[in-house]
Amino acid sequence: MKDVDKFLIVMLIAFVVSNVIAILSPWAASHFSAMSGDSTHYMILQPIFRGFATFALNIALALWVFHQAKCEETKPLFWSLITLATGIFGPILFYVYFAYEHSKNRKTVEAAATTK
């Protein structure tokens, strides 16, 4: 249960950060375009800010999933690449898969214990 609590906290933080990025990227782009005095910079800078911030969030999530997969003794590179490709859905896929694996292993152990 401790891993699930950690997972929920990390996913909540990632959700809040992604929403803050979405809210602040137009402001940051308009702020820098106002500093330059050219409104065309706004159209260029907004996607750059949003893309950079989203990429940084995906990198952070991939590093976290890499560490968690290493602790689970599985393929950390595979799971970090999945997270880079899917973004915020990577950790969700990771925990759904491992919840399934742990429940399957628990059922196997219980079945072996009852047959003895």
CB contact at 8 A, 18 and 54? yes
Average pLDDT over residues 25-44: 63
pLDDT of residue 33: 61
Which of the four pLDDT bands, split at 50, 70 and 90, describes residue 46? low
Q: Tell me the residue ranges of DSSP E strands in 1-116.
A: none
What ranges do the domains of the chain cover? Answer: 2-115
Looking at residue 39, the DSSP 8-state letter turns out to be: T
Q: What share of the chain is helix, strand, coil (3-state, %, to 5)?
A: 90, 0, 10
Better-scored residue on pLDDT, 116 or 114: 114
CB contact at 8 A, 65 and 91? yes
Q: What is the pLDDT of residues 55-108, one digit of tens each?
A: 888 888 888 899 888 988 888 899 989 988 888 888 889 988 888 887 887 777
Which of the four pLDDT bands, split at 50, 70 and 90, describes residue 1? very low
pLDDT of residue 40: 64
pTM over 0.85: no
Q: HSE-up of 27 (CA within 13 Å, CB side)?
A: 5
